[in-house]
Amino acid sequence: MSENLQISAQEKMVIYAARQLKPFDNKQALIGIGLPVLASQVAKYLWCGGLKSIIENGSFDAIIAEIPFSLFGGRISYGCSAQLDNGFALSGAKRGRVEIGFLGAAQVDKYGNINTTQIGPIDNPKFRIAGSGGAVDIGCYCAHTFIVCAQSKRTFVNQVDYVTTPGWVAPDNTKAGRAWVPRETLRLTGGPAAIITNLGIMKFDEKTKEAYLDEYYPGVTIEQILDNTGFDLDVSRAREADGITGEELTVLRTKVDPLNIYKTR
Amino acid sequence: MSENLQISAQEKMVIYAARQLKPFDNKQALIGIGLPVLASQVAKYLWCGGLKSIIENGSFDAIIAEIPFSLFGGRISYGCSAQLDNGFALSGAKRGRVEIGFLGAAQVDKYGNINTTQIGPIDNPKFRIAGSGGAVDIGCYCAHTFIVCAQSKRTFVNQVDYVTTPGWVAPDNTKAGRAWVPRETLRLTGGPAAIITNLGIMKFDEKTKEAYLDEYYPGVTIEQILDNTGFDLDVSRAREADGITGEELTVLRTKVDPLNIYKTR
Amino acid sequence: MEANKMVSLKDAVSVIQDGDIVFFGGIVDGRRPVAAMRELARQQKKNLITLSFLSVEDFLVGAGCIKGIRGCYTHLGIFGKVPCLHRALAKNELVVDEFGHIDCQLQLMAPALGLPYVASPYCIGSDIINPNYDFSEKLRALAREPERIGAQKYIFTENPFSPEHETVVLVPALRPNVAIIHAGKIGHEGTVRIEGTQGLDIYAAFAADRVIVTAEEIVPESYLRRDPNRNNIPTTQVDMIVHVPWGAHPTALPGYYDMDMEALFIYQKAARTEEDFAKWSDEWIYSLSDNNAYLEKIGAAKMMQLKAVEPYGFKPRTSVEQLG
Amino acid sequence: MEANKMVSLKDAVSVIQDGDIVFFGGIVDGRRPVAAMRELARQQKKNLITLSFLSVEDFLVGAGCIKGIRGCYTHLGIFGKVPCLHRALAKNELVVDEFGHIDCQLQLMAPALGLPYVASPYCIGSDIINPNYDFSEKLRALAREPERIGAQKYIFTENPFSPEHETVVLVPALRPNVAIIHAGKIGHEGTVRIEGTQGLDIYAAFAADRVIVTAEEIVPESYLRRDPNRNNIPTTQVDMIVHVPWGAHPTALPGYYDMDMEALFIYQKAARTEEDFAKWSDEWIYSLSDNNAYLEKIGAAKMMQLKAVEPYGFKPRTSVEQLG
């Protein structure tokens, strides 16, 4: 049925991101603003009502009765289990109870390193973006970090200009030389699980730790994905993703974001 | 008028301790259980209504409507400004806002070192007392620590068996040898201001940092005090304390502890 | 779907293993999980290491359950000594590893926030940091998972940020295996609301591997979630919920009941000899099969006598007209 | 007797000195002390260093007040870039010293608890700890009291408790000169109750030398003291109280009003050019002599449109029947 539906690129990102949460009912997830909030709410409606959303402002087990534009206003705290402080929330991944993180990216590379800080050479940056927020604290230790961003050669780069949040191979700044080393060497736990874009889903090879194309959405070609990727992408394992169902779309459009405040459609 | 009143030793300790707070209206004081609570309440009634009582359980600006037997029950929290955690309260001296501390002692020496931990040689203790509780955190950094305890040769010793809470000259355990050094060398701030007992008030010499007899209570002789002191006590500056007034006694007996729950009379 | 966390006290306590590091909530004579402590005695857990304060849990020393404590206070408040502890010390059957009070909080705050250790300025000038009194190795020998306890209690170093390089004391993180906390209200999914002294409970709830909450009342989540700012521990940190009315007796539970001074005096007197302690244990622990039996033992009249009055959260000794 | 802490916004802000480290409460677009920020612009404070987040205070960069920030985020949430900051960076007139989010809390938690520094496992593998991006010296050059800022942003060391000696990152304590916090309710003696996100405000209130609280409502102390567990900052940490209704506008104040998205969009657009920013500043800051003038400028109708609805604490977009 899904082929007949008009589905926007943003809606695809939300719903395919939501599907990643299927195996994680009753688990705890650190959820960022924007598409991650929508994705987690879709997942809760459809598959994992026991998923616990934790927000970096210290809202634990947030219910999110109305989709917020801000992580720090009344819509986040309302109805949550306890409103504590940022540190208790963000340290969840390091402590171990929080297994899932959802992050955005201005740049992402083949190892899943994320840059949201600045563009340009590391020793001569051209302009600033926004900074880490809580991304680094989440991405350093979450068992499964999901990266959600639109795919283009500008965002999918061979090596990010600045590592805000470390991926599978990251710079060791604790020693001179900024050597790139496997994240285990840095004693970071977990790591990037997938990059969910408007075109498909990239995962990371167990051995090489490099991104490969896992799924491309119906109507998207592998060529289209390669044209929007700035690094060598292994597409040998790629398969077409299951189409978005009417149920998924209905939940997003009528339950999660009925007013379309995020203009996903 | 005071000479005609029957005043118990315990009442004297409470009221003379309360008088120490006179200069500290609007200041913040960490108050322990027992006589210190009574003393601080007497001082608030009579002289310093703006004194802020902070309790080691995290009760800030406690009102103490009814004298408690415990620092951790409802009588402490009721009506206080905010019930936070122990660390915020006990760190007040180090941060600097809390200038006054009130401590008890099982042993105290001429430098105002307090032992509430164990009796017997440091390398071969005979028996345990109770431990520090919050005393060490208060005594290390409070600008003015007041020690309240009954005076005897058993408690007023030349050198305490174990330093729970450091006085003016204290052991440096961060280096081998446990050398006794001035507290400034250890970068501790403030220090013991006075020892208030059932017999009189000891203060500390500016230069030698040793206790001297500042005041003896009416009806107490200097000899009596020396007989109850296990270290050399300079009595050359001693003067008789002003007698307890009817007003002080009335406040203690009718306002602060009308039921005499601490059996001070 | 939401997992059901409600279990019996027996089942909850059964997860504790010999040699575990157990955090008991509350402080000294306020809001202690005493019903859970009694169940620990009944289940005869061994080689437990507890933290911070040792007061009413003295009977667990007498029962042979607690063999080590890292804490700042071992006393029964105004009621005096903890007799079983002193007897055990005399027989060299207990390790008391002395700590400062703030450091007790820091050793739990560190793992609660994922930090390996904390630099503390506290206890300098005290014998608490006397290396001869570092009993970490003895505690490790008791622990089922010794690596949870730092090989040293304290390590001294210099503050590298300060031009004066002053000495600081490093306090290692200590993750309890289990935290047991008693509260007034808990939501059916695990939201905890504490009245009065919160103690170190929140840090312990975030630091421990497993968290058991015993509570006076299990209430609808929605009721507590009307004011999330008022709640102290979120569902995400609570693993087991046990309904135990009067579960803190004979200690005080602000908002619910005063401490039972008579019961505490009786304990403190009885525990002074092994014989009387054995009788007390039979009477108050082993002969009582469950919490209902314990409630009957306290007696309804005593319960009404101790019951807290609004808005005080305690039972006034004088008339409320006088108290104001 | 109780000292009176109530002062005018002008008098409160006047204690801030050029080169001070100023903590602003709230996060990004929630519960920010924006009225106090406007007063800072009117008083033309110089060389201020701020912490943690830079969002609506962008106009203080444009006004030449803020010259440094140590924080983890400089953006206006969904509204996009902070234009004055980016202009100042291009002209090399601003220092942004990058930090992790938890580390932002730790640098305030440390002084709040009297600790010299904290050992953090966060930011390893990130360029946040890249020594080439340590701008401590630049911040110190701005500060009136440079010694408040560690000579290094981060120092790397080994965990001495761990047999593996893993690398840890030491984060120095940073004591702000002043913390400015906006809250819903404050008691007349200074007890603060925060609704919703508490952010780092409690740590800052304990860490800063002076604490200014602006509030929607000044209420009787006795009212807030009915539930001390619900209060966030005690009287003992509050030095000045200022009554400023709508003092967080255009950011959200849970329980009181939603964020004014229109106003934030207008700002973000206007700030993109120096000319439009100057016009915006005249219209929204300099031409308005006090908070009453600002309230009139917002307008009563807009205020009613943003006003939060019970029990949500926000203004629902849909009908309450639908929201449930």
**Can you tell me the distance from the alpha carbon of C306 to that of D272, in angstroms, rounded to the nearest whole number?**
66
Contact (CB, 8 A) for D238 and D271 = no
What's the whole-model pTM score? 0.97
A108 bridge partner residues: A114, A156
Decide: A and C in contact? Rule: 3+ Cβ pairs under 8 Å.
yes
Closest-CA residue to D270 (of D95, D28, D43, D81): D81
Q: Which domains, and CATH codes, for chain A?
A: 9-256 (3.40.1080.10)
Q: HSE of C226 in the Cβ direction (CA atoms, 13 Å)?
A: 7
User: With 80 as the cut, is the pLDDT of residue A241 above it?
Assistant: yes
CB–CB of C113 and A50 under 8 A? Answer: no
Q: Which stretches does DSSP call E strand in chain A?
A: 28-30, 52-54, 59-60, 82-83, 98-103, 107-108, 114-115, 118-119, 127-128, 144-148, 169-172, 179-182, 192-196, 200-204, 211-216, 239-240
Would you place residue B1 in the very low, low, confident or very high pLDDT band (cuts 50, 70, 90)?
very low
Cβ-Cβ contacts under 8 Å, D148 against chain C: none
- Residues A186-199 have a mean pLDDT of 98
**Can you tell me the distance from the alpha carbon of C44 to that of C24, in angstroms, rounded to the nearest whole number?**
17
User: With 60 as the cut, is the pLDDT of residue A3 above it?
Assistant: no
Q: Which stretches does DSSP call E strand in chain D?
A: 21-24, 48-54, 66-74, 95-98, 117-120, 155-158, 167-172, 178-187, 192-193, 210-219, 240-243
Query: What local confidence, expressed as pLDDT, does residue D150 receive?
Result: 94
Contact (CB, 8 A) for D41 and D14 = no
Note the ipTM here.
0.97
Contact (CB, 8 A) for B115 and B163 = yes
SS (H, E, C) B71-106: CCCHHHHCCCCEECCHHHHHCHHHHCCEEEEEECCC
* Residue A195, CA distances (Å) to A190, B245, C104, C276 in order: 15, 79, 42, 68
Crossing angle between the packed helical segments B35-46 and B9-19, to the nearest 10 degrees: 50
**Can you tell me the distance from the alpha carbon of B119 to that of B129, in angstroms, rounded to the nearest whole number?**
7
Question: What percent of chain B is predicted at pLDDT more than 90?
Answer: 94
**Can you tell me the distance from the alpha carbon of B76 to that of B53, in angstroms, rounded to the nearest whole number?**
10
Q: How far is C201 from chain D (nearest CA, A)?
A: 14
Contact (CB, 8 A) for D274 and A27 = no
Which alpha helices (H) appear in A71-191, and where do they start and end? 74-77, 86-90, 92-95, 135-141
User: With 90 as the cut, is the pLDDT of residue C1 above it?
Assistant: no
B128 bridge partner residues: B118
Give me the residues of D, 91-110, that contact C with CB < 8 A: 102, 106
Q: How far is D11 from chain A (nearest CA, A)?
A: 29
Query: What local confidence, expressed as pLDDT, does residue B259 receive?
Result: 92
Torsion sign across C-alpha atoms D126, D129, D131, D137: positive
Q: How far is B240 from chain D (nearest CA, A)?
A: 30
> What does residue A174 show for φ and ψ, rounded to 5 degrees?
-80, -10
User: With 70 as the cut, is the pLDDT of residue B3 above it?
Assistant: no
Count H helices, E strands: chain B?
A: 8, 16
- Residues D301-307 have a mean pLDDT of 98
Would you place residue A34 in the very low, low, confident or very high pLDDT band (cuts 50, 70, 90)?
confident
Active site residue A56: yes
Helix (H, G, I), strand (E, B) or coil at B146: strand
Catalytic residue among B3, B11, B56, B223: B56
Contact (CB, 8 A) for B59 and B30 = no
The residue whose two tokens read 């860490």 is D207
pLDDT tens-place string over residues C20-78: 999 999 999 999 999 999 999 999 999 999 999 999 999 999 999 999 999 999 999 99
Q: What is the DSSP string of B14-64?
A: HHHHHHTTGGGTT-EEE--SSHHHHHHHHHHHHT-TT-EEE-TTSEES---
Instruction: Report which DSSP code applies to D10.
Output: H
Neighbours of D232 (CB within 10 A): 18
Question: What percent of chain B is predicted at pLDDT more than 70?
Answer: 98
For chain A, how big is the Rg over CA atoms in Å? 18
- Residues C164-189 have a mean pLDDT of 97
Give me the residues of A, 47-86, that contact C with CB < 8 A: 49-50, 52, 54, 59-61, 63, 77-84
Closest-CA residue to D228 (of A201, A155, B81): B81
Helix (H, G, I), strand (E, B) or coil at C23: strand
Query: What local confidence, expressed as pLDDT, does residue C321 receive?
Result: 80
Question: What percent of chain D is predicted at pLDDT more than 90?
Answer: 96
Would you place residue C126 in the very low, low, confident or very high pLDDT band (cuts 50, 70, 90)?
very high
* Nearby residues of C204 by Cβ (< 8 Å), 6 or more positions away: C23, C25, C51, C108, C112, C176, C179, C181, C211
Q: What is the mean pLDDT of chain C?
A: 97
CB–CB of C233 and A88 under 8 A? Answer: no
User: With 80 as the cut, is the pLDDT of residue A138 above it?
Assistant: yes
Helix (H, G, I), strand (E, B) or coil at D218: strand
User: With 70 as the cut, is the pLDDT of residue A43 above it?
Assistant: yes
Catalytic residue among A56, A99, A215, A248: A56
User: With 50 as the cut, is the pLDDT of residue A1 above it?
Assistant: no
Query: What local confidence, expressed as pLDDT, does residue D2 receive?
Result: 62
Mutation for C interface: D153, D161, D168, most C CBs within 10 A:
D161
**Can you tell me the distance from the alpha carbon of A186 to that of A183, in angstroms, rounded to the nearest whole number?**
5
Contact (CB, 8 A) for C123 and C100 = yes
Q: What is the DSSP string of A209-223?
A: --EEEEEE-TT--HH
- The conformational region for residue C142 under phi > 0 = left, psi -120 to 50 = alpha, else beta, is alpha
Neighbours of C316 (CB within 10 A): 17
**Can you tell me the distance from the alpha carbon of C268 to that of C78, in angstroms, rounded to the nearest whole number?**
11
Q: How far is D155 from chain C (nearest CA, A)?
A: 8
> What does residue D143 show for φ and ψ, rounded to 5 degrees?
-75, 140
Neighbours of D323 (CB within 10 A): 13
pLDDT tens-place string over residues A44-83: 999 999 999 999 999 999 999 999 999 999 999 999 999 9
CA dihedral angle for residue D206, residue D208, residue D211, residue D213, rounded to 10 degrees: -70
Would you place residue C320 in the very low, low, confident or very high pLDDT band (cuts 50, 70, 90)?
confident
Exposure string (b/e) for C50-74, b if CB count within 10 Å is 16 or more? bbbbbbbbbbbbbbbbbbbbbbbbb
Closest-CA residue to B230 (of B202, B263, B191): B202
Query: What local confidence, expressed as pLDDT, does residue B4 receive?
Result: 53
Write the residue in B131, B165, B188 that is nearest to C73 by C-beta: B131
Chain D residue closest in CA terms to A81: D196
* Nearby residues of B16 by Cβ (< 8 Å), 6 or more positions away: B196, B201, B215, B217, B241, B244
Q: What is the DSSP string of D150-199?
A: -SSS-EEEE-TTSTT--EEEEEE----SEEEEEEEEEETT--EE--S--T
Torsion sign across C-alpha atoms B180, B181, B187, B190: positive
Contact (CB, 8 A) for D168 and D156 = yes
* Nearby residues of B120 by Cβ (< 8 Å), 6 or more positions away: B126, B127, B161
User: With 70 as the cut, is the pLDDT of residue D5 above it?
Assistant: yes
Q: Which domains, and CATH codes, for chain C?
A: 178-319 (3.40.1080.10)
pLDDT tens-place string over residues D34-69: 999 999 999 999 999 999 999 999 999 999 999 999
Query: What local confidence, expressed as pLDDT, does residue D148 receive?
Result: 98
User: With 80 as the cut, is the pLDDT of residue A5 above it?
Assistant: no
* Interchain contact A87–C (C-beta under 8 A): yes
Contact (CB, 8 A) for D83 and D58 = yes
Would you state the structure tokens that stand for residue C103, as one six-digit string?
A: 């450091």
Q: What is the mean pLDDT of chain B?
A: 96
* Interchain contact C232–A (C-beta under 8 A): yes
User: With 60 as the cut, is the pLDDT of residue A215 above it?
Assistant: yes
Neighbours of C299 (CB within 10 A): 10
Query: What local confidence, expressed as pLDDT, does residue C2 receive?
Result: 62
* Interchain contact C229–A (C-beta under 8 A): yes
Chain C residue closest in CA terms to B261: C317
User: With 50 as the cut, is the pLDDT of residue B2 above it?
Assistant: no
pLDDT tens-place string over residues C225-284: 999 999 999 999 999 999 999 999 999 999 999 999 999 999 999 999 999 999 999 999
Closest-CA residue to A138 (of A184, A102, A97, A180): A102
pLDDT tens-place string over residues D171-228: 999 999 999 999 999 999 999 999 999 999 999 999 999 999 999 999 999 999 999 9
Query: What local confidence, expressed as pLDDT, does residue D318 receive?
Result: 86
Contact (CB, 8 A) for A35 and A10 = yes
**Can you tell me the distance from the alpha carbon of D38 to that of D32, in angstroms, rounded to the nearest whole number?**
11
Q: What is the mean pLDDT of chain A?
A: 95
How are beta strands D21-24 and C240-243 bridged, if at all?
unpaired
The kind and range of the H/E element at C9 are: helix C9-14
Query: What local confidence, expressed as pLDDT, does residue A4 receive?
Result: 53
